């Protein structure tokens, strides 16, 4: 029997409890119960090492290859173009560091373009590359949070080898014009990567439509577990230098014994996303609109950060001038949302993404991110609106 997904707050089979309403789907998603069901045999009976030359190994290997086909199927790729990794951080690192070194050692150049609002994994990887002698251009974004393809074209140089522009931003949810940027990149011989971590749960991610050479997918943003991710590498794209070497797994691109159960979970999540995405997306968008409507009616001074049109259906980044994010969070313990990006809440500096779209430190401190997803219910939305409005009108 399929698990009910729309009338419960989280996918747990446990009775309703007093857990806060979860509104942080860009930080992480709960695991879909169907994903857990698919994984369980690979944590118990089918525990073999895919490299082992016996029946246990063969069973595990077959499961990994089946998951590879499922992940490829989600993004319009071929199975052999998928490399499994342990995280989005690792996929981005393999795509950027690995490819940059391959291209520089074949004498192609050492200039890389990213945007100012890339995830900290990409920013930090590029800081390291800069230290290793690469030149990095960090493109500004418009006030609506979008990269202008013309600005990208102007930044491209004869020695530009690689570009990385994320598909959808994890803080403000803006969806970038990747296909237009990829076209420009390819006209100039630039290898194009996109970090699509935030995409598959609610928007189509197709490597042909996007025109990218490299693409990052992340399990825990699409109802699979944490600690499993993938990198798509287009056929014919220069192979990135492996960042983990040893056992030769993943065609030598990523050594380590495979996380078989996690990979099976990612495959199952990809399969579910293929069919669930349109209905999830429509429902989530209607919930977001309802929440925004309630909030703007009660709090007319509220500002939505980033384009509302080119945006993930389940994301709201809101600046509420009358209250700081930390005040709002402490006044609404029954809600779980985030101040800026959950990836660096320990850092008191204003979010670089909010700064890049023109917010000053004060506005950034008054900004919250609400993330809606597969298990959000209409009563969660009503509850969240009531509590946030009450907390801001104190
Ligand atoms: C856009 C984006 N890229 C990469 C990552 C990093 O993924 P992971 O946590 O698996 O390293 C995240 C997670 O926050 C993300 O939102």
The DSSP secondary structure of 186-242, one letter per residue, reads HHTT-EEEEE-TTSTTTS---HHHHT-SEEEEEGGGTTS-TT-EEEEE-TTSPPPPP
Helix H or strand E segment including 317: strand 315-319
Question: Is it the case that residue 212 has pLDDT exceeding 80?
Answer: yes
Q: Which has the closest alpha carbon to 208: 240, 238, 232?
A: 232
pLDDT digits (tens, 9 = 90+) for 291-348: 999 999 999 999 999 999 999 999 999 999 999 999 999 999 999 999 964 445 556 6
Write down the domain spans for the chain: 21-31+277-392, 35-271
Question: Is it the case that residue 25 has pLDDT exceeding 50?
Answer: yes
- For residue 103, the tally of other CB atoms under 10 A from its CB is 22
Q: What is the CATH number of domain 21-31+277-392?
A: 3.90.1150.10
Interatomic CA distance for residues 187 and 329, integer angstroms: 47
pLDDT digits (tens, 9 = 90+) for 231-284: 999 999 999 999 999 999 999 999 999 999 999 999 999 999 999 999 999 999
**pLDDT at residue 9, rounded to an integer:** 45
Question: Is it the case that residue 220 has pLDDT exceeding 50?
Answer: yes
**pLDDT at residue 159, rounded to an integer:** 96
Is 86 near ligand 1, meaning CB less than 6 Å away?
no
Is 195 near ligand 1, meaning CB less than 6 Å away?
yes
Is 229 near ligand 1, meaning CB less than 6 Å away?
yes
**pLDDT at residue 349, rounded to an integer:** 85
- CB of 199 closer than 8 Å to CB of 167: yes
What mean pLDDT do residues 23-30 have? 98
Q: Do domains 21-31+277-392 and 35-271 have the same CATH topology?
A: no
> Based on C-alpha coordinates, what's the Rg of the chain?
21
Establish whether 108 is a catalytic residue.
no
Q: What is the CATH number of domain 35-271?
A: 3.40.640.10
pLDDT-wise least confident of 81-85, 103-107, 120-124: 103-107
- CB of 97 closer than 8 Å to CB of 125: yes
Instruction: Give me ligand 1 centre to Cα 124, in Å.
Output: 13
Is 170 near ligand 1, meaning CB less than 6 Å away?
yes
**pLDDT at residue 127, rounded to an integer:** 98
What mean pLDDT do residues 209-219 have? 98
- CB of 187 closer than 8 Å to CB of 233: no
When pLDDT is cut at 50, 70 and 90, the band that residue 18 belongs to is confident
- CB of 317 closer than 8 Å to CB of 143: no
**pLDDT at residue 345, rounded to an integer:** 53
Interatomic CA distance for residues 215 and 182, integer angstroms: 12
When pLDDT is cut at 50, 70 and 90, the band that residue 213 belongs to is very high
Average pLDDT score over the chain = 94
**pLDDT at residue 342, rounded to an integer:** 42
What mean pLDDT do residues 133-147 have? 98
What mean pLDDT do residues 145-173 have? 98
What mean pLDDT do residues 221-225 have? 98
Question: Is it the case that residue 221 has pLDDT exceeding 70?
Answer: yes
Say whether 359 sits in a helix, a strand or coil.
Answer: coil
Question: Residues of 194-230 as b/e, b for ≥16 C-beta within 10 angstroms?
Answer: bbbbbbbbbbbbebeebbbbbbbbbbbbbbbbbebbb
- CB of 316 closer than 8 Å to CB of 288: yes
Question: Is it the case that residue 42 has pLDDT exceeding 50?
Answer: yes
What mean pLDDT do residues 73-84 have? 98
More confident position, 5 or 28: 28
**pLDDT at residue 5, rounded to an integer:** 42
When pLDDT is cut at 50, 70 and 90, the band that residue 393 belongs to is confident
- CB of 69 closer than 8 Å to CB of 80: no
Is 119 near ligand 1, meaning CB less than 6 Å away?
yes
**pLDDT at residue 1, rounded to an integer:** 31
Q: Please state the atom number of ligand 1 nearest to the C-alpha of residue 227.
A: 10
Instruction: Give me ligand 1 centre to Cα 377, in Å.
Output: 25
- By alpha-carbon position, which residue is closest to atom 2 of ligand 1? 197
- By alpha-carbon position, which residue is closest to atom 16 of ligand 1? 170
Q: Could you say which of 108, 126, 237, 343 is catalytic?
A: 343
Per the structure block, which two tokens stand in for 113? 């373009």
What mean pLDDT do residues 32-53 have? 98
Helix H or strand E segment including 164: strand 160-164
Dihedral in degrees, nearest 10, Cα atoms 144, 145, 151, 153 = -130
What's CA 64's distance to the chain center, in Å? 22
What's CA 140's distance to the chain center, in Å? 20
Question: Is it the case that residue 6 has pLDDT exceeding 90?
Answer: no
């Amino acid at each position: 029997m399929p698990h009910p997904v729309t009338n419960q707050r989280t996918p747990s089979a446990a009775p309703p409890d007093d857990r806060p309403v979860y509104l942080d789907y860009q930080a992480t998603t709960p695991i879909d119960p169907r994903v857990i069901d698919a994984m369980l045999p690979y944590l118990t009976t089918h525990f073999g090492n895919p490299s082992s030359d016996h029946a246990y190994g063969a069973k595990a290997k077959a499961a990994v290859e089946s998951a590879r086909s499922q992940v490829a199927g989600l993004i319009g790729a071929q199975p052999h173009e998928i490399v499994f990794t342990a995280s989005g951080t690792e996929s981005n690192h393999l795509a950027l560091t690995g490819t940059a070194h391959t291209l520089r050692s074949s004498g192609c150049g050492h200039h890389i373009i990213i945007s100012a609002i890339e995830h900290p994994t990409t920013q930090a990887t590029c800081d390291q590359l800069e230290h290793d002698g690469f030149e990095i251009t960090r493109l500004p974004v418009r006030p609506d949070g979008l990269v202008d393809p013309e600005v990208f074209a102007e930044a491209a140089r004869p020695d530009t080898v690689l570009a990385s522009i994320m598909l959808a931003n994890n803080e403000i949810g803006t969806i970038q014009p990747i296909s237009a940027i990829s076209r420009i990149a390819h006209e100039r011989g630039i290898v194009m990567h996109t970090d699509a971590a935030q995409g598959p749960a609610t928007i189509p991610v197709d490597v042909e439509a996007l025109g990218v050479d490299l693409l990052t997918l992340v399990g825990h943003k699409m109802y699979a577990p944490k600690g499993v991710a993938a990198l798509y590498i287009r056929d014919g794209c220069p192979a990135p230098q492996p960042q983990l070497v040893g056992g030769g797994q993943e065609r030598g691109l990523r050594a380590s014994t495979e996380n078989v159960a996690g990979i099976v979970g990612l495959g199952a999540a990809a399969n579910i996303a293929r069919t669930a995405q349109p209905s999830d997306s429509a429902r989530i968008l209607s919930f977001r609109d309802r929440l925004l409507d309630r909030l703007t009616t009660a709090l007319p001074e509220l500002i939505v950060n980033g384009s509302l049109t080119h945006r993930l259906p389940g994301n709201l980044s809101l600046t509420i001038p009358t209250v700081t994010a930390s005040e709002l969070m402490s006044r609404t313990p029954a809600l779980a949302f985030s101040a800026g990006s959950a990836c660096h809440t320990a850092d008191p500096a204003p979010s670089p993404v909010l700064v890049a779209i023109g917010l000053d430190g004060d506005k950034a401190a008054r900004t919250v991110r609400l993330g809606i997803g597969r298990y959000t219910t209409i009563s969660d939305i009503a509850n969240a609106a009531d509590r946030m409005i009450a907390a801001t009108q104190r």
